[in-house]
Amino acid sequence: MKQKTILIVDDEPALLAHLRRLLGGDYSVGVASSAREGLDRAKTARPDLILLDLKMPQMGGIEFLRELKRMADHVPTIVMSAYADVASVVQAMKLGAVDFISKPFNDEKLKEDIEISFSSSKRPGEKLFKESIVGNSTQIQQVWSLIEKFAPSDIGILLIGESGTGKELFARAIHEMSKRSHGPLVPVDCATIPESLVESELFGYEKGAFTGASIRRPGWFETAHKGTLFLDEVGNLSSTVQAKLLRSLQESTISPVGSRSHRSVDARVISATNIDLQHAVSEGGFRADLYYRLSAVPITIPPLREREGDIPLLAQHFVNLYSQRYGKEVSGISSGAMEILCSYLWPGNVRELENVIKSAVLLTGEQVMEQDLLLYFNKGIRQTGKAGAEVNQFEFSFMCGVNLGPGGRVDLKKIREQAAEEAERRIIGDLLTNSSQNKSDIAKQLGVDRKTLRAKIRKLGISLDRKEH
C-alpha cells in the first residue's frame, strides 16, 4: 500500500526536524519553513495531510488556508496553535481545517490524532446520529452544520438552550462524531450535585481527605480520560469550582481533594446551559475567562416553538417509539390531535412533547385522538354530533394565553413570546399554589434547576402564597 504523505508547514527549524524524525518512519514527510513555500509544495506534491502552524511571519496560517481553499482539491489540514489562541483556531476550522493540536503537544497524542485523521472507519457516519435527533427545520439544519464542522476536533463547545431541547442528545452526537468516540462520554448534571460535593465529584478525592473517605475515588474528570466530559447546566457551579475547572482546562491536569499533586487528564469538555451565561458574566456570577474557554464554539439549540414543521415529525417519532415499547399498534395521530399539538407552544420543549405522546399512546387504541391529549392538558371537552370529541377551544386558548383563530390555528411567530410567558405563569403558579411538593421537586418536574425556577418566579411576578417546605 502506498505510504501516506504529510506536509509540515512551520517556521521553527527545530520543530520541523523533530516532527520529521517522529513521523518519518510511518509516513512520507515533507517540510516547508514558510506559508508561501508550503502552498507551492501543496500544489505540486498534493500531500494527503498538512500540519500547519497558525502563527508565522509574512503569511500566517489563516491566509494559507484561504489560498489552499482556492485549490482544485481539498487537502485535509490539522492546525497547530497555542491553546489560548482559540479565536484563530475557530476561524481556521471555518476555513476547512479538520482538527487542531495545541502547542506544546505530546508526541504520542500527535501520532494518534494523525492516525485517526487517516482512518475514516474510526469515525462513525454523521447520518447515524442525524437519524437519532428528529427534525428537518432550517434551525436544526443550522445546528447540524456547526456540529459537523467542529465535532471532530477537541475545541470547546457550549450548547445553549432551554430545558428539554435535547442538549444532551446533541452532546452525545458531538462525542460520537469526534476522534474521541472510542473513549467514554461522561455526563454530569451540575444542577443536581449538592454544592458541598461538587469539587469531590468532579475532581475526585484521596483516601483520608475527609471523614468517610476510606478509599481513593476518581472524579468525573478522571473517568472521562481519553473521552468527553459533558457538563450540563454549567452555570450552576460555584466561583470556587469555576476557578479549579479553569485551571484544569488550561493545564490538562486535576488536583483531587486532599492531594498535593496534580494528575494529567486528557478529556474534552462540552458544556451546556439554559441561562444567559454572558449576562451572568456581566453580573459577576460567572467567570469571564472560564466562559470564553468553554464557549469557543457556542451552539444555540432552538426551542420547539421555533422549529417550524418539526412537531409532526417528532410526534410521529414518539408514537412509533412508545407503541413498540408498550406493545401497542398505534398507527398515527388524527388531524384534530395534530392540530392541537402544532398550536401549543411547548414551554417544556421536546421533553414535554415526548411525555404527552407517551401518555396518549397508553390511553389510545389505534390512533392518537384529541381526547387522548386531554389528560395531560387537564381541560374539558365539548361533545359534537360527530364520533369522538374536540378540545374546548375557549379553554385551550385560555391555557395558552392566546386567541385561537378559525379552526384553532394560530400564528406562532407573532404570539409565541407572550403566549409562552403566559403559559409558564399559569403552569408554575398552579404548581406553587396547589402542589404539596417543595421548590426543588417542582423545579425537577418542570425540567429546570431551582435557581432558574426562582428567576422565573421573579420575572413572571408570581405570588408565593404558599407555605415553604
- Domain boundary residue, one of 122, 139, 156: 122
Q: Using the predicted structure, report yes or no on whether residue 124 has a pLDDT greater than 70.
A: no
**Mean pLDDT on 335-348:** 90
How confident is the prediction for the chain on average, in pLDDT?
83
Check whether residue 297 and residue 310 sit in a common domain.
no
Distances (CA, A) of 421 to 162, 262, 399, 438, 440: 13, 48, 11, 22, 21
User: If you write DSSP's letter for every residue of 387-419 in order, what string do you get?
Assistant: SSEEE-HHHHHHHHTS---GGG---HHHHHHHH
Q: Using the predicted structure, report yes or no on whether residue 378 has a pLDDT greater than 70.
A: no
What are the b/e assignments for 208-237, b being 16+ CB within 10 Å?
A: ebeeeeeeebbbbbbebbebbbbbbbbbbb
Q: Tell me the residue range of the domain where 67 lies.
A: 5-122
Query: Which range is least confidently modeled, 35-39, 185-189, 397-401, 449-453?
Result: 397-401
**Mean pLDDT on 423-437:** 76
Check whether residue 59 and residue 24 sit in a common domain.
yes
pLDDT class of 120 with cuts at 50, 70, 90: low
249: its cell numbers: 482546562
Instruction: Please say whether the beta carbons of 380 and 392 come within 8 A.
Output: yes
pLDDT of residue 385: 32
pLDDT of residue 402: 45
CA dihedral 137, 141, 142, 147 (to 10 degrees): 140
Check whether residue 280 and residue 383 sit in a common domain.
no
Q: Using the predicted structure, report yes or no on whether residue 273 has a pLDDT greater than 90.
A: yes
Q: Using the predicted structure, report yes or no on whether residue 94 has a pLDDT greater than 70.
A: yes
Q: Which of 114, 111, 66 is nearest to 88 (CA)?
A: 66
pLDDT of residue 210: 84
**Mean pLDDT on 360-378:** 83
Whole-number Å distance between alpha carbons of 359 and 355: 6
Check whether residue 272 and residue 145 sit in a common domain.
yes
Whole-number Å distance between alpha carbons of 445 and 452: 13
For 66, the enclosing helix (H) or strand (E) is helix 61-69
Cβ atoms < 10 Å from Cβ of 286: 23
pLDDT class of 382 with cuts at 50, 70, 90: very low
Q: Using the predicted structure, report yes or no on whether residue 241 has a pLDDT greater than 70.
A: yes
pLDDT class of 161 with cuts at 50, 70, 90: very high
Distances (CA, A) of 162 to 108, 318, 349: 40, 20, 8
Residue 451 CA, distance from chain mean position: 21
Q: Compute φ and ψ for 331, nearest 5 degrees.
A: -80, -30
Whole-number Å distance between alpha carbons of 61 and 89: 10
pLDDT of residue 424: 76
Check whether residue 237 and residue 135 sit in a common domain.
yes
Whole-number Å distance between alpha carbons of 180 and 105: 17
pLDDT of residue 433: 77
DSSP structural state of residue 339: H
Check whether residue 108 and residue 190 sit in a common domain.
no
Check whether residue 73 and residue 162 sit in a common domain.
no
**Mean pLDDT on 449-453:** 82
Check whether residue 154 and residue 95 sit in a common domain.
no
Q: Using the predicted structure, report yes or no on whether residue 75 has a pLDDT greater than 90.
A: no
pLDDT of residue 406: 46
CATH classification at residue 237 = 3.40.50.300
pLDDT of residue 398: 40
pLDDT of residue 86: 75
pLDDT of residue 129: 59
Instruction: Please say whether the beta carbons of 60 and 35 come within 8 A.
Output: yes
Cα Rg of the chain (Å, integer):
26
pLDDT of residue 395: 43
pTM comes to: 0.70
Give the number of residues written for the chain. Answer: 469
pLDDT class of 83 with cuts at 50, 70, 90: low
**Mean pLDDT on 180-185:** 89
Decide which of 117 and 303 is more confident.
303
Cβ atoms < 10 Å from Cβ of 443: 22
Q: Using the predicted structure, report yes or no on whether residue 136 has a pLDDT greater than 50.
A: yes
Whole-number Å distance between alpha carbons of 270 and 174: 9
CA dihedral 27, 33, 36, 42 (to 10 degrees): -10
Check whether residue 295 and residue 324 sit in a common domain.
no
- Domain boundary residue, one of 67, 89, 122: 122
pLDDT class of 388 with cuts at 50, 70, 90: very low
Residue pLDDT, tens place only, 262-272: 889 999 999 99
Q: Which residues contact 41 (CB under 8 A, 6 or more apart)?
A: 7, 30, 32, 47
pLDDT of residue 63: 92
For 462, the enclosing helix (H) or strand (E) is none
Check whether residue 155 and residue 244 sit in a common domain.
yes
Whole-angstrom distance between the N-terminal and C-terminal Cα of the chain?
Answer: 71
pLDDT of residue 88: 83
Decide which of 302 and 401 is more confident.
302
pLDDT class of 74 with cuts at 50, 70, 90: confident
Q: Which of 273, 211, 213 is nearest to 242 (CA)?
A: 273
Check whether residue 71 and residue 153 sit in a common domain.
no
- Domain boundary residue, one of 249, 279, 302: 302
CA dihedral 446, 451, 191, 274 (to 10 degrees): 70
pLDDT of residue 43: 87
pLDDT more than 70, % of the chain: 85
Residue pLDDT, tens place only, 193-217: 888 888 899 999 888 888 888 888 8
pLDDT of residue 84: 55
pLDDT class of 417 with cuts at 50, 70, 90: low
pLDDT of residue 297: 93
Distances (CA, A) of 357 to 177, 318, 341, 445: 30, 6, 10, 17
Residue pLDDT, tens place only, 15-26: 999 999 999 989
pLDDT of residue 420: 66
CATH classification at residue 54 = 3.40.50.2300
CATH classification at residue 453 = 1.10.8.60
pLDDT more than 90, % of the chain: 43
Q: Which residues contact 17 (CB under 8 A, 6 or more apart)?
A: none
Q: How many domains are there within the chain?
A: 3
Residue pLDDT, tens place only, 284-331: 999 999 999 999 999 999 999 999 899 999 999 999 999 999 888 898
In Å, the largest CA–CA distance within the chain is: 87
pLDDT class of 432 with cuts at 50, 70, 90: confident
Check whether residue 312 and residue 443 sit in a common domain.
yes
